[in-house]
Amino acid sequence: MYASLLSNRYLTSRLIPFIAIAAVALCVALVVTVVSVMSGFLDMLKSSGRLIVGDVIISSGIGGMPYTDEFLVDLKGLKDVQGATPLIDTIGLLRMPYPRGDQKEVSHVQVWAVDPISLATVTDYANDLYWRPPADAAASAAMSDEDPRKHLDIDVLNDGKTLVQSRTGAPGITLGMHVSIGNARQKDGSYLPRYGWFMPGNDVTLTVVPVSGQGKIAEPREQIFPVLNEVQTGIYEVDRNRVYIPLPEGQRLLRLDEAPLYDLNAEPGPDGRYPQIGTTPARVTKILVRAKPDVSANQLRAEVELCYAAFAKRINADNSRVASMPDFVNILTWEQQLADLIAPVEKEREMMRVLFSLIYLVCAGLILSIFWSIVVEKTRDIGILRSVGASRFGVMWIFLRYGLIIGILGSGLGVLLAWLIVRNVNAIHEAIGSDAPPVIWIGAFVLTGICALGMIYAIWRGRLLAILLWLLGTTVLGLIATGLALHHGTLIWDPSVYYFTIVPDQVDWGTARWTFLFGVVFSVIGAAIPASKAADIDPVEALRYG
């Protein structure tokens, strides 16, 4: 009872407990915020990585794999396969429709020649198509009038899903959201056309270079495609570079389509041609495989490897085939495939962990020293309490309770603060990324002026501490105000560095719980160490303090 009374009085009669609460809160908020954003980032990377390339990727050399239609039948027969899709992955040049005039801009792009229907069963392709009319009246009402989606024809979406322009029947192309300069990202994450360039409906020219199995480059080929839609995977690297065309177009452009096979050992005919002895099958360079739910990518990879080996053996033993399966293909899980992307982030996270263990230590030292000074200040009180018969534990309990309350309040506030920051991290980032509104920096200058007046008053009254504090306030606020006035938006989270166009904004509650607990336990220990030291000394010794 006296312990509660005293620890409550110690908490409320001084400024220093509030400083301690603020210190605990800041440390907890710092840790929870950074760990949440970092692990959100990794999660995002991993989940979107999987949605972009499926679970298992089979890739061959540049010469491609034949007979994939048959192989796909085998693959889809595996019990753990949800879907599989063939594609050709190459690089190309894309001549954009802008600017107006003869000189057009040319971008280099990664070309995926795909079967859009099966691609949608393996990746999130169909859902990633950005231009689509609003789903219902409510969604429509929520859109601004300038948003092109508001009155969009459903054909734009459907054409994107099939990669065929339904109006003309011509094969079309879809572009990653950031391939063209025409899409200006808005604060809410939507896009408005920039400089009037709304890409669907414009034509682009794609140039690719066929390469033979021996690595020889053939004549580049080009084709004009109508842009049907644009794709937003959320991974900036992909959205910046990737374009999708129909698989048969890709095969034709890259000379991976079916072709007559001539017997070069025979005598040429009267027309100078060698006799045709068959047809070489069309080829693809990659097959993406999606696992059924709850099947791990590694498990699927093992099954796919066996399946491919069996299939290649069967084909290669069959003398009636004009082409053979490559002996060596790469079969990787998405994690292995995206290792270039994931590994640096994991390294970065490890580095953050190391840095953070230092920050933890600094926080711990800070809290311990605050508690130390609190307890030292109260050593005489401990002597008084002991002299009227309070037990060591009774005295300890005052400070344990004190640390417990500071720990709970501080950690609770810290988690709350972290929650507020993390939930609004994109808005905060956006605000940092744009110029400071004049009200804010003018307001800061006004506060600076008030501090300056306070300082003049303090000088007039001759109060040294007040002069110092007002001077400090004037300087700091003045610097902040000047900084804000001169501030021109800088993007911290540059999507070209961090892959993603938005900052993860989910609190990692596991970390939050542990950090809260850590904050409380540490505050209690931080109070217990000096308190037990104080309770150990004889009352007379303690009474000599102060």
Binding mask of the shown chain, residues 53 to 92, with x at each position contacting other proteins by CB under 8 A: ----------------------------------------
Other Cβ atoms closer than 10 A to 142: 13
Name the residue nearer to other proteins (CB basis): 47 or 387. Answer: 387
Name the residue nearer to other proteins (CB basis): 169 or 389. Answer: 389
Contact with other proteins (CB under 8 A): which of 389, 461, 488, 497? 389
- Which tokens go with 527? 């109070």
Name the residue nearer to other proteins (CB basis): 149 or 386. Answer: 386
Residues sharing a CB contact under 8 Å with residue 545, sequence separation 6 or more, in sequence order: 376, 379, 380, 383
Binding mask of the shown chain, residues 237 to 276, with x at each position contacting other proteins by CB under 8 A: ----------------------------------------
124 SS3 class: coil
User: Could you tell me whether strands 203-208 and 283-284 are parallel, antiparallel, or unpaired per DSSP bridges?
Assistant: unpaired
Q: Which residue in this structure is represented by tokens 């079967």?
A: 115
Name the residue nearer to other proteins (CB basis): 3 or 30. Answer: 3
6 touching other proteins, by CB under 8 A: yes
380 touching other proteins, by CB under 8 A: yes
Indicate the burial class of 516 (C-beta count within 10 angstroms; 0-12, 13-18, 19 or more): buried
- Which tokens go with 394? 């009774």
Name the residue nearer to other proteins (CB basis): 159 or 381. Answer: 381
**In the complex, least distance from residue 21 CB atom to other proteins, rounded to whole angstroms:** 18
**DSSP code of residue 433:** H
Other Cβ atoms closer than 10 A to 133: 18
Q: Beta partners for 262?
A: 276
**In the complex, least distance from residue 350 CB atom to other proteins, rounded to whole angstroms:** 48
- Helical ranges in 154-257 per DSSP H: 154-162, 236-241, 247-253
Stretch that binds other proteins, among 27-35, 123-131, 152-160, 381-389 (CB under 8 A): 381-389
Residues sharing a CB contact under 8 Å with residue 119, sequence separation 6 or more, in sequence order: 85, 87, 125, 244, 288
Q: Beta partners for 261?
A: 278
**In the complex, least distance from residue 1 CB atom to other proteins, rounded to whole angstroms:** 5
**DSSP code of residue 150:** G
Q: Using CA atoms, how far apart are residues 177 and 348, in angstroms rounded to an integer? A: 27
**In the complex, least distance from residue 387 CB atom to other proteins, rounded to whole angstroms:** 5
**In the complex, least distance from residue 358 CB atom to other proteins, rounded to whole angstroms:** 37
Which CA distances in Å does 269 have to 186, 261, 266, 412? 65, 15, 9, 88
- Which tokens go with 67? 């007979």
Contact with other proteins (CB under 8 A): which of 282, 385, 444, 451? 385
| Residues contacting other proteins: total by CB under 8 A | 24
User: Could you tell me whether strands 191-193 and 183-185 are parallel, antiparallel, or unpaired per DSSP bridges?
Assistant: antiparallel
Footprint of other proteins on 527-546 (CB under 8 A)? 538-540, 543
Binding mask of the shown chain, residues 409 to 438, with x at each position contacting other proteins by CB under 8 A: ------------------------------
Inter-residue contact 229 to 165 (CB < 8 Å)? no
**In the complex, least distance from residue 427 CB atom to other proteins, rounded to whole angstroms:** 44
Q: Beta partners for 176?
A: 231
- Kindly state the helix (H) or strand (E) to which residue 139 belongs, with its residue range: helix 137-142
Stretch that binds other proteins, among 55-63, 196-204, 295-303, 385-393 (CB under 8 A): 385-393
Contact with other proteins (CB under 8 A): which of 332, 341, 384, 480? 384
Stretch that binds other proteins, among 1-9, 228-236, 248-256, 417-425 (CB under 8 A): 1-9
Inter-residue contact 205 to 94 (CB < 8 Å)? yes
**In the complex, least distance from residue 408 CB atom to other proteins, rounded to whole angstroms:** 21
Burial 275-288 (b: 16+ CB within 10 A, else e): eeeeeebbbbbbbb
390 touching other proteins, by CB under 8 A: yes
5 touching other proteins, by CB under 8 A: yes
97 touching other proteins, by CB under 8 A: no
- Which tokens go with 231? 């794709």
Other Cβ atoms closer than 10 A to 534: 24
Name the residue nearer to other proteins (CB basis): 6 or 531. Answer: 6
Name the residue nearer to other proteins (CB basis): 16 or 521. Answer: 16
- Which tokens go with 298? 């590694």
Stretch that binds other proteins, among 56-64, 383-391, 509-517, 524-532 (CB under 8 A): 383-391
**In the complex, least distance from residue 529 CB atom to other proteins, rounded to whole angstroms:** 22
Q: Which amino acid is at 256?
A: L
Inter-residue contact 373 to 399 (CB < 8 Å)? no
Binding mask of the shown chain, residues 186 to 225, with x at each position contacting other proteins by CB under 8 A: ----------------------------------------
φ, ψ for residue 204, nearest 5 deg: -130, 155
**In the complex, least distance from residue 16 CB atom to other proteins, rounded to whole angstroms:** 13
381 touching other proteins, by CB under 8 A: yes
15 touching other proteins, by CB under 8 A: no
373 touching other proteins, by CB under 8 A: no
464 touching other proteins, by CB under 8 A: no
- Which tokens go with 414? 């810290």
Compute the radius of gyration of the chain from its Cα atoms. Answer: 34
**In the complex, least distance from residue 365 CB atom to other proteins, rounded to whole angstroms:** 27
1 touching other proteins, by CB under 8 A: yes
Name the residue nearer to other proteins (CB basis): 5 or 259. Answer: 5
Q: Using CA atoms, how far apart are residues 2 and 364, in angstroms rounded to an integer? A: 29
The count of C-alpha atoms lying within 13 angstroms of the C-alpha of 498, restricted to the half-sphere facing its C-beta, is: 17
Name the residue nearer to other proteins (CB basis): 235 or 396. Answer: 396
399 touching other proteins, by CB under 8 A: no
Residues of this chain that bind other proteins (CB under 8 A)? 1-3, 5-6, 9-10, 13, 380-381, 383-391, 394, 538-540, 543
